[in-house]
Structures are given as C-alpha cells and as structure tokens.
Structure 1
Amino acid sequence: QQCLLSSLQVRTRFPPEPNGILHIGHAKAINFNFGYAKANGGVCFLRYDDTNPEKEEEKYFTAIREMVEWLGYQPYAVTHASDYFDQLYTWALELIRRGQAYVCHQKVEEIKGHNPPPSPWRDRPVEESLVLFEDMRKGKFGEGEATLRMKLVMEDGKMDPVAYRVKFTPHHRTGDKWCIYPTYDYTHCLCDSIEHITHSLCTKEFQARRSSYFWLCNALDVYCPVQWEYGRLNLLYTVVSKRKIIRLVETGAVRDWDDPRLFTLTALRRRGFPPEAINNFCARVGVTVAQATMEPHLLEACVREVLNEQAPRAMAVLEPLKVTITNFPAPKALEVLVPNFPADESRGFHKVPFQSTVYIEETDFREEVDKGYKRLAPGQPVGLRHAGYVITVQNIIKDASGRVIELEVTCTKSDVAEKPKAFIHWVSEPLACEVRLYERLFLHKNPEDPAEVPGGFLSDLNPDSLRVVHNALVDSSVLSARPFDKFQFERLGYFSVDPDTAEGKV
C-alpha cells in the first residue's frame, strides 16, 4: 500500500528542529522541498523534529510555521516527530528482537570522535537488552548511564549510532510520559516512512547518514524513501549558527533574533525584504551538490527588483533644513499630486501638501559651489520634485555657532523659469519619524574564520552597522501605513515600517 501510494504522488517534507529561528539557508530548503513537490503535483509536510525537549520552545514552533507561510507555502499537514513516539518505541523493541540494537553503557565522551573503542556490550543477549531498554523507559537509569545503539557502521566510519538516550526533561507535547527520546539518526527515516515521504531532501552534511537511513528501514522491513542531498546556502558577512546568534543577543550586539542586521527570516522580514525576493534569490542560486556561498548584494539585488514594482514612492528628509518661501503663490497650502510609481502613472497618485515652509536635506544645500555640484546654492536654483516650482536662495540664516538653520527663498513656476541643473525632494507639513539605517553587521566576509578574524566573530562587529535618525521627516502619505508596509523614499532608498511603530510614533 505504501509503495502504491508513493508511486502515485510526490511527497516531501521540511523537518526543522524547533530550537531556533529559521535563517536564509532554511529558505533554500523550504523552497526546494515545497517547490519540488509543487512542480510534480505533490505535497509537502511541515514536520517538527521535536526530539530534544531541552532546547525546544513554543515560540520557535510558531515562528517556523509563520515563516514557511510568509514565504508563500502552505503545508499539506503539520506534524511532529513526537506524534510517532509510541510507534518509534515499538519499532525499537523490534530492532532489539532482531538482534540489530543493544543497550550500551559507554559514556558520551567514550563514543565521541572518529575512532571510539567498540562497545563491550555490543553482543549482549537480546533478552537482556529488552529488559534494560524497558528499565530505561521506566526511568531506572540516570542521564548518560545507558543508551540504545544500532548495529551498523556509517559512511563516515562512525560505528553504532545512538537510537535512544535518557533525558528527564518534560516534553512540550507529551509532558512526563517519556524519559527516553529518540535521536535524529533513528527518528528521521522512520518518520519519513510513516508519512509515506517519497523524496527525503537533505543538505550535503547528511550524506554520511544515508547508510543509516536505508539500513534502518531495511532492518525493520518498512517502506524506505529515496534520499537526495544538495549543497547548503551560505551568505558572507554574517553568522547563522543559533549559538552565535544567542551570543550576539546576550552581548547586546543585536536586539533579538529579528534584528534587521541578521539573516534570520524574521530579521529579513523586519528589514523589509519581500518573500518573493527571497524565493527568487533561492531560485537563482539553484540546487546543486556543491555548497553555495553568496555575497549579500546578490540577495539585495533581488529585493530591489521586487520592491521597484511593489513599493510606492514617497518623500522623506533625514537631516532637515527649513526653507521658507517668501513669495509663496497662495494664502494656504496647495495640494501636489505625486505618482506612486513614476514609471507607470496608471497605478495612481497620492496627495502631499505644499506650503510656504518646506524642508529639504541639509546635504542638498551648500554655501559654496564646487565643480560638478548641481543642487541648491546661492545663485544656483533647484527644482522641487513634483511641485512644479523652482526655488532660488535669497537669504541664509545661521545660529550662534555659524550653522545654517534656515533658508529664505523665492519660487518661480517651472514652466517659466530657466531649467535648473537638478530637482530635489522635500516635505511640507510632514510627519516626524525615527529612521534606522543598517549596514553589514560584520567587517569581514567570513567572521567565523580564525584565519580571517583571529579574535573571533564578536571582535569583528561593524561599529557603524546601525545609525538611528531620531528626527526624520516624511510626507503625510505614510500616515496610515502599517508595520511591514514598504516605501521607496525618493533619492534615498527602500524603507519598511517597523513593528515598533505605535500610535503617535512611526
């Protein structure tokens, strides 16, 4: 029946451990598993590999599913390895009865490494192992005092991998029912078999476990899927290890797992990266056996392509300079129509007020003109984008320290004024907001490489990775924006509304 089912429908699964947040490498795995199933008219499961209760938290379960769905994929079913604990235990007993597993008392330190000594309990009688395994289940052994091991030699030379170990940690789903938990080597293939998975798609490091995968299914005479390996996706200038991200959070280098300088999926979403862009990036990287190590700017290029079509334009000023138009042509504010997408005005416009006081970027004005400088200066007018007016400096107002704090200008309609050398963005009756500008978190391409960064990854932090602009001004068209809405601020770049946004503070 299983073989008949597998011959009729492609079935894959994405099996993350719920002990951390998904990162850009997982996006490739999600795309491959769900994408391969979809391309072949099949289905893909989301299965949580929840066999290590010490490190699992409910927030990770929630975040993983949220990110899978954010990328645009809907699991055929959401399952857990713990759904099958009873069946896995029954099969472990059968494995012992068939002489293919035994209870061992070697310590973890003794069986680590490439050439550990053979277990002196490898040939212990079947009945004895059955009794001892039941004692493990009843909690008669302490942690580390006994394990159940399978009798096989893996492709990397590792001998007799552990199938079960003792852990007196309550499980988030099964509570205190179990004090023994199956390992990845034992669980992975059997859960695939139970769910009739046809293609077990794994990253290359699991190739060494392929022998145990096939061996275990055959040893129990259960349906065995095919296992394919592919190369991982890594990015330069970052770290994705859970342990290292926790260190970054603990030391205050980043705020949390969703800090936009990280490359976790929650961080990329917060930074404003659209899911389509991440999927496009994974598609361009492709699926090969070789590991792919990519520059972040390749991902960023995919982001710009999508946002160029999706993010409406708006105007914002990061370092405001007040400009007073002394001959403003109306007694009250005018309304200016600004296209949401200048390349395609059929996609609509938004209105912004235009009155006698506007704000421009400090860097768009200079008292002295250098060769090649085309923006506002005494004797050098500029156009105001979308407003239909050209402004000319008449007076420069400075504070006691000599810093320019205001310009007094006159305006002329664009259709009668001489064409200016440049047009600049501006805001009027603006909305105050906080803007966070992010750069790479690390200075070197491989912050984890001791040859490149001898002091360790924490010594490689970029001190300029975050600049907060507390008093930026943005046009009123963003007033109704919600968290994760995206805009292209003209002449500045792409920005996303942060979840920190609250009423009265953007």
Structure 2
Amino acid sequence: MADSLPKEQLDVLTNVYHLTTKKQLSDVAKKPKTVEKLVDISKVAGISAGTPADKNVATILYAFSSKFPEKNRTESRDYVAKCIAEGKIKNTMQLEAACEYFEDIENFDKPVDQSKFEKNCGVGVEVTDEQVEQVVKDVFADMKEKIEAERYRTEMKPIISAVKAKQPWAAGKPIMQSIDKCMLELLGPKDDRDKVVKVKKEKKPVKTEQAVEADSAKDYVGAVAMFHKVGENYKTQGYVTTPHTMDLLKQHLKETGGKVVTRFPPEPNGILHIGHAKAMNLNFGYAKANDGICYLRYDDTNPEAEEDRYFKGIRDMVEWLGHEPYKVTHSSDYFERLYDCAIELIKRDKAYVDHQTAEQIKAERGGEKGEGERTESPYRNRPIAESLRIFEEMRQGLWAEGSAILRMKMDMKNGNPQMWDLIAYRIKFSHHVRTGNAWCIYPSYDFTHCLCDSFENISHSLCTMEFTQARVSYYWLCNALDIYCPVQWEYSRLNLTNTILSKRKVLKLIAEGYVNDWDDPRLHTLPALKRRGFTPKAINRLCDQVGITVNTTTIAMARLDGCVRDDLNVIAPRAMALLDPIKVTISNFKEDKKDAVDVPNIPFNESAGNHTLQFDKVLYIDRDDYRDAADKNYRRFAQDQSIGLKYRGVVLFCEDVTRNSANEVTEITACYEELTKENKPKAFIHWVCNPIPCEIRLYDILLRDDGDEDGKNFLKNVNSQSLIVKPNALVDPSVRDAPVGTQYQFERVGYFCKDPDSTADRPVFNLTVSLKEDAGKV
C-alpha cells in the first residue's frame, strides 16, 4: 500500500513525521485525505522533507492533523502549525487548548488575538517537577481526611482534577509520580486494610414510577451525547458556515437563553401512529432532559389533504402520551414571512419562476432514477425582475395551476438530488383549513421546513433517516438567505413486525374492508392503540428501550406487548370473564347459604381495595375448563375430577351433564363441598354468578409475514384471524359501571379495555394483550 504513494508524500511521511516502518506507512496510506493533510501541514509549518523535524514536533503535528476542526479557516490552521514548528505548542494539552480556542464562538473564523491565544494555550509556561510535587502536596493537605479514611481505595480522578485546576499545564506523568510519592509518605506501604473485600451485592429495590421517569430522562442525555451543545452548531459535521454564521449564532443564544429548543412537526393529513410516538418521545424528551422547550408545529402546507379532525387528533394524541408543548404553531402562521423569504431569494438570484411540466423537470433531472444527463431549466437564467413580476402574479391568482412554479437556483451538477433546483412554491386553488382562500400559492416542504425551524430558533432539528439527503438543501436555503441555520440530526424510524404503518396502505386496508377505520384496534395508529388499551407509559417505555440509533431495525411486536403487560399488571383491576361459558347448577346449594365473596382488585396492592361477588346456586365456568374425562396431565374440571373455585374456597364435583343436538355440553349439574385438606383439588378456576352479558373481541397480528409491509402484495399477508369475536361472553358484575377506556385483567385470560361500542346493557371489551404464557397450563 505504501508503495503506491508518490515520492513527495513518502518523503514527508518518513522524514518529517518519522513514519519509517512498513506497517506505519501502510496504515496511513489507507487514508489518502490524512496523507494530504499531513503534507499540507508540514509545508505550512515550514518543515521540508529535506530537513527532518524534531520528533516531538512531528508527534504534535501528526496529532494536529486529525484534531483541528476542519471548519475553521486556513489562516487559523496555519497559525497553529507554525506555533508547533516554533516550539510554542509542545504537548497534547496545549494542542487541545489551541483547538478549543478556535472552536469557541468568540474566536471562530476571526483574526488571531496572539496574546489571548498564547495565554489560553500556556505558551511559554514551563512547569517543573518540583512545582508539580508542591501542587500535589497542597491537594493532599486539602483532602487528607478523605485519603486517610479511604487509603489506597481513594479515587484518583478527583485528585488529578484538583491538581489540574491549580496547575493546568502540568503533564500527566509527573502528576502520577508525585501522587504515588505522596500516598506512600501519608499512608505507608499497603497492608491488610487495603485488601479488596468482596461484598455480596444486595438486590436492587423496585424502582418507583418517579425513578423510572428520571432514568428515562437521563437515558436521553446518554443516547444523544453526539448532539451538539446549543450555539455550537458550527462544530457538527456537514454544517456549512458563512461570514454571518457566528453573529447569527450569538443572536440565537441571546433569544433562546442558551436553551435546547426542539419541535414535533406532524402533517395534519392523517392519524399519528406508533412511529410518531418515537418522534414525540425524542423531541419532547430531549428538550425536557435538558431543561429546554419543544414546540408542536403543524406542517399545514398542503391544503388538499388537511382536515380539522386531523389537527384535533394530533393534539389529543400528543397530550395522551403525556407531552406538553411549549407552544402550538402552524407553518401557515408564517405564510407571509415565507413569501417575503421567497421574494428575497429571487432578488438574490437564487430562485426563479419555471413553466416546465412535471415530466419535463423529471427529464431535466436525468430521468426516473436521475441517472441520465442533467440539464438546466430554460427559464433558470431569466431576468430577476421577470421572476419577481410573475411570482407576484401567481399570488394574485393570474396563473393557472401547473402553469408556473417557483424553483430554488441550487446546483444541478451536484450528485445529491436535493440540490437539483427544488420547488419552493406551487399554485393550488384550494381552500385552506386555517387561512381559507387568502392564498393560492403554497410553499413546499423543502422550502418551509428549515425556514420555520429558523423562525422558531430550533436548536436541534430532529428527523428520521430518510431526510439525511435533505440536510444539504436545508443548510443551503438558510445560508442563501443569511438567516440562523439550525442543525439537522437524523435517527432511525420505529418499525414493528406484523403490522402496517404506511398511511397509503392503511387507507387501502380501510377502503377494502380489512379494517374498519383509523382507530381499528388491529392497527398501530395511536388512536387504535389507545382504543385497544395500550397505555402511554407502555408506548413511551418501548421508545426508551429502542433508544436513538441511525441503524434501521424492526422491533418484534412482543417487545411492545411486554411493555404494556408490565404496566397493566400494576394498574389494572382484576375481574372474571368467560369467553365461552357453560352453566353450572349446584344441586346441594341451599338458599340460605348465599354469601358474598371479597375479591382484591389488585392482589399485591391492598390500597387498590376489593370488589364483592355473590356466590349462588347457578354459576358459570369457561368451556376450556371442562372435559368429560381427565388424563394424568389434565388438572381442571371433568366428570371424574373435582375443581376448586377461586376466592370462594369450595370444591365442585360433577354429577351430570346436559348436551345439545351437536353433542356440546350446555349445562353441568354439580354438588359442592367446602374446601378441606382432604378434598383439595388439583386446580382452581375462575367463575361468575349473576353475570353481565358482553362481547369480547380477541385481536391478533394484522400481517402473517414479519416484514412484508413494503411488499406490493401486502394484502395477501393480511391475517384473516386478526379479529375473533366472542358475542356470548359473560363478565362479573364488578365492571358494570366502568367508563369506556377502563382497563382490566380478566383473570387467567388477559388484559382488556372497555370499547366505545359498549352500550348500557351490553359492554364490549377489547383484548389488549394476553397474560404471560404458562407452559404448564393444562
């Protein structure tokens, strides 16, 4: 690999940087850009291949090639390189300080203040070993009590930090040597007191809800550690600076007070789904974790698709998930300001009115896949005054739809399609939900999004990975207008197995009758999840578990089921319900033996209280709990096997069964005994007396295939058994007055939620999730 390097580069690497081994040269040769930097920096430093550099200078120069921020101007880089060559910057600490100096917003892209620079970098400061030892002794004097108590178990980091605070230019090696010496002088050699004693770890206590929420907030800090600090936009990779950037950032800091500012910007043209929950979780969560603010902004620039119900539905779901917007805004709030930006863009010769059709523009961009020859629009260089006149006429409604558009004059030669003269405005004679008929031209997403972010001083513009390519156009437009430019960060979408999230495909499912509407509990829209009984805490917990990544992953549905099961186990009151009931008449029941049974609402939570059930002559059990004959593995009711009734403490013995014409058991006649040690049955089952008739809806996965949402024939994979209705179910009377949305654990069955289809005399319950599978349940 090293043999492929030009002789000039090879000479610089070997003579200037002392890279002499075959491995060293091969490693660096794999990085052509690094080689170019090293050669360039050596020239700037005034060190030629014919005049080998001091080895320490070479080491610092080499480190400098990778550390110095690429965004800083060449003059700053050259200045540091010369300081290294002249011996002013002698170690990595001074190099770090030099890099930090130029990264500071006060110094970035400005002429070097030599006095300030040298002071910040410790130029000319010589720290002797004696000085280091004295500082260490001073620190030990301050921390003596703590060090004597903890002896050789004392953490070194606080000591080193204290030394650095007093003597920032002290090198690491003499600091550690002095610390070792002081430890020995103070404590003497290690003895039995310094032996590490293994302590058995105590079980961690169950976390409170407040602790869980606090941990979730902390998770954001770790998961998004790569995000820039507020005001340090220019330090992020790919961010484009201009001569106005630093002044704009200072103004941004002044207006925001240095707070994190995010936004959740849904389009009000459909219903939110679980993927949007992750976007909310990140935007609201990151702002909250950093004591910042988050806007809810409706991106309402497409009047043909927007409806009032979508605006309300979005707001309802944001609040349902527990998020509180700092302010609710709309892209349409800024229509006049956006129009003014378009005018300014034309005046700067960075936008023009085009009259080409969509097909002509597609051809101009290289065809369907953009692989053909790209050409500029014939209208691209029309006079500025002409574009201004026509654009004003477009606003006045003097041009027909499709006859004219405003395009941004970007870079048709750029390899990124997002720079191919994107559309900024188009004509639409459509009524807008909020602005009525005041406008007949509407801005595009590519024009609106970044400008609204700028208007609202967004510090972190967070979006999913499909917008990665759009980052370059986002920065281009803000800089073309010389306005504050936020930083765009991308993260992966939340994808789930066995479901459909695509708006277009959900509409197809609805249109063809596979599901009923946007809130059909088989879907994973947020209204559907709410109707099915999923809790906000469970959805947010899944988002926390998935975390913030850039890798596309598909999460198993079981992960979401596990989250809601854990939550409902703690909060859902218990009740007893039968999906397929069989009547049981107790032959030896005496009317005066009627009694009430107290049943705990949540068995492990006394504060949740109890509800009362009646035990009577006629009761009902589930068909799954009866067989004519038992085998050695079967534990429940049979003609030859008794069964216990949960909570009541009685044992039933089968006497007779009644069957219908299909040979199905319709009634069991049984006798009972009070529970004793002698008659204790193998199992206890749930039951109901004086029940309420109800309908129970059992839901399963919507798609049989794990990941065929993207397939063209996804309808073939729709699970025909995704909904099974039990119209003749029975439930105990404790649920009678429960409002819609109340969640229960139906014992031995699963978690259920009362559906809006319920009536006063016939409630309907949706299966949220089953109980954990019991392999021994037979």
TM-score (norm 1): 0.97
The corresponding residue for 2:608 is: 347
Check conservation: 1:50, 1:80, Cα contact below 8 A.
Answer: yes
1:129 alignment partner, SS class? helix
Note closer, same or farther for the CA distance 1:12–1:197 as it changes in structure 2 (3 Å cut). Answer: same
- Between 1:29-38 and 1:401-410, the stretch displaced more is 401-410
Aligned to 1:412: 673
For residues 196-248 of structure 1, the C-alpha deviation after alignment (integer angstroms, 9 at most, x for no partner) is 11110111111111111111111111111111111111111111111111111
Seq. identity, %: 54
- RMSD in angstroms over aligned alpha carbons? 1.4
User: Helix, strand or coil: the match of 1:8?
Assistant: coil
C-alpha contact 2:626 2:636 (8 A) present in aligned 1: yes
How far has the Cα of 1:155 moved from its partner? Answer: 6.5
Task: Say whether residues 1:464 and 2:724 are aligned partners.
Answer: no
Partner Cα separation in structure 1 for residue 318 and residue 415 of structure 2: 32
CA distance in 2, matches of 1:228, 1:323: 64
Residue 504 of structure 1 and its aligned partner are, at CA, apart by 1.8
SS at match of 1:221: coil
Aligned to 1:149: 407
| CA displacement at 1:368 relative to structure 2 | 1.6
1:494 aligns with 2:746: no
Query: Is structure 2 residue 573 aligned with structure 1 residue 318?
Result: no
Deviation at 1:407, TM superposition (A): 0.8
State the shift of 1:108 in Å.
1.3
- The equivalent residue for 1:229 is 490
Residue among 105, 127, 139 paired with 2:397: 139
Tell me which residue corresponds to 1:427.
688
- The whole-number CA distance in structure 2 between the counterparts of 1:432 and 1:342 is 25
- Map Cα deviations across residues 65-104 of structure 1 (whole Å, 9 max, x no partner): 1001000001111110000000000111011001110001
| In structure 2, distance between residues paired with 1:417 and 1:152 | 89
Structure 1 residue matching 2:479: 3-state secondary structure: helix
Q: Deviations over 1:146-184 (max 9, x none)?
A: 111111137623400000001111111111111100001
Per the alignment, residue 313 of structure 2 pairs with 63
Residues 103-162 of structure 1 deviation map (CA, whole Å, 9 limit, x = unaligned): 011111222342553211111111010001111111122111111111113762340000
Using the alignment, how far apart are the partners of 1:449 and 1:90 within structure 2?
A: 40
Unaligned runs of 5+ in 1: none
1:180 aligns with 2:456: no
Once the two structures are superposed, the pairs formed by residues 252-263 of structure 1 within 5 Å of their partners are: 252-263=513-524
Say which SS state the counterpart of residue 208 (structure 1) adopts. coil
2:360 partner letter: E
Contact kept, 8 Å, 2:739 with 2:754, in 1: the verdict is: yes
Name 1:18's counterpart in structure 2: 268
**In structure 2, how many angstroms separate the alpha carbons of the residues matched to 1:475 and 1:412?**
23
Give the secondary structure class of the aligned counterpart of 1:494.
strand
Counterpart contact for 2:629–2:640, Cα < 8 Å: no
1:81 paired to 2:341: no
Aligned counterparts of 2:473 and 2:624: Cα–Cα separation in 1? 64
Answer with 305-314 or 339-348: which moved more.
339-348
Match of 1:275 in 2: 536
2:9 corresponding residue in structure 1: none
Q: Is the 8 A contact 2:692 2:762 kept in 1?
A: no
Quote how far apart the aligned CAs of 1:371 are: 3.0
Distance 1:420 1:277 in 2: 38
User: In 1, Cα distance between the equivalents of 2:428 and 2:612?
Assistant: 63
Q: Partners in 2 of 1:156 and 1:501 — Cα distance?
A: 54
The range that moved more, 230-239 or 65-74, is: 230-239
Q: Aligned-pair distance for 1:329?
A: 4.7
SS of structure 2 residue aligned to 1:483: coil
- CA distance in 1 between counterparts of 2:709 and 2:686 reads 42
Greater Cα shift, 140-149 or 245-254: 140-149
Q: Note if contact 1:202-1:230 (Cα within 8 Å) is conserved in structure 2.
A: yes
Secondary structure of the equivalent of 1:148?
strand
| Distance in 1 (alpha carbons) for counterparts of 2:417 and 2:608 | 62
Contact 2:535 2:564 in 1 (8 A): yes
**Preserved contact between residue 204 and residue 289 of structure 1 (Cα < 8 Å):** yes
> Which residue number corresponds to residue 707 of structure 2?
446
Q: Quote the Cα distance in structure 2 between the aligned partners of 1:15 and 1:217.
A: 18
In 2, distance between residues paired with 1:417 and 1:475? 30
Instruction: Name the SS of the counterpart of 1:238 in structure 2.
Output: coil
Amino acid in structure 2 at the alignment position of 1:468:
V
Q: Is the 8 A contact 1:383 1:390 kept in 2?
A: yes
The AA in structure 2 aligned to 1:276 is: K
Secondary structure at 1:448 match in 2: helix
**Aligned pairs, number:** 502
Give the stretch that moved more between structures: 439-448 or 428-437: 439-448
Letter of the aligned partner of 1:102 in structure 2?
Y
SS at match of 1:280: helix
Which letter does structure 2 place at the counterpart of 1:67?
A: M
Secondary structure, aligned partner of 2:592: coil
5 Å-filtered alignment, 1:293-312, equals 293-312=554-573
> What letter matches 1:118 in structure 2?
E
Q: Deviations over 1:304-344 (max 9, x none)?
A: 01010011111001101000111225426321111111233
CA–CA separation in structure 2 for the residues paired with 1:13 and 1:459: 38
SS where residue 412 of structure 1 aligns? strand
Aligned match of 1:95: 345
Q: Which residue of 1 is the match for residue 164 of structure 2?
A: none
Secondary structure of the structure 2 residue equivalent to 1:463: coil
In 1, Cα distance between equivalents of 2:690 and 2:746: 17
CA contact (8 A) 1:155 1:209 kept: no
Alpha-carbon distance between aligned partners in 1 of 2:381 and 2:512, rounded to the nearest angstrom = 50
Task: Compare CA radii of gyration and give the structure with the larger one.
Answer: 2
- Aligned equivalents of 1:142, 1:362: Cα separation in 2: 69
Paired residue type of 1:472: A
Provide runs of 4+ in structure 1 moved above 6 Å: none
| 2:623 aligned residue (358, 362, 374) | 362
Whether the 8 Å contact between 1:318 and 1:473 is mirrored in structure 2 is yes
Q: Does 1:119 align with 2:369?
A: no
- 1:379 Cα deviation from its structure 2 partner: 2.4
CA pair 155-343 structure 1, distance change in 2 beyond 3 A: farther
Structure 1 position 39 matched with structure 2 position 320 = no
Do the aligned residues in 2 keep the contact of 1:111 with 1:117 (CA within 8 Å)? no
Q: Distance in 2 between matches of 1:369 and 1:238?
A: 40
| CA drift at 1:399 | 2.6
Distance 2:489 2:517 in 1: 34
SS of the residue aligned with 2:682? coil
**Structure-1 residue corresponding to 2:425:** 164
Q: How far apart, CA to CA, are the structure 1 residues paired with 2:257 and 2:326?
A: 18
Matched residues in 2 for 1:178 and 1:225: separation? 28
Cα distance in 2 for partners of 1:16, 1:389 equals 57
Greater shift after overlay, 55-64 or 136-145? 136-145
- Which stretch shifts more, 488-497 or 405-414? 405-414
Pair 1:474 & 2:731 matched = yes
Whole-angstrom distance in 2 between the partners of 1:465 and 1:400:
30
Correspondence for 2:358 among 103, 108, 113: 108
- SS of the residue corresponding to residue 228 of structure 1 reads strand
Amino acid of the structure 2 residue aligned with 1:141: W
Alpha-carbon contact 1:203-1:229 (below 8 Å) kept? yes
The amino acid across from 1:302 in the alignment is C
- Give, in whole Å, the separation in 2 of the partners of 1:148 and 1:58: 28
Matching residue's letter, 1:501: S
Instruction: Answer yes or no: is the 8 Å Cα contact 1:105–1:146 preserved in 2.
Output: yes
Q: Which region of structure 1 is more displaced relative to structure 2, 2-11 or 438-447?
A: 2-11
Q: Return the structure number with greater strand share.
A: 1
SS of corresponding position for 1:503: coil
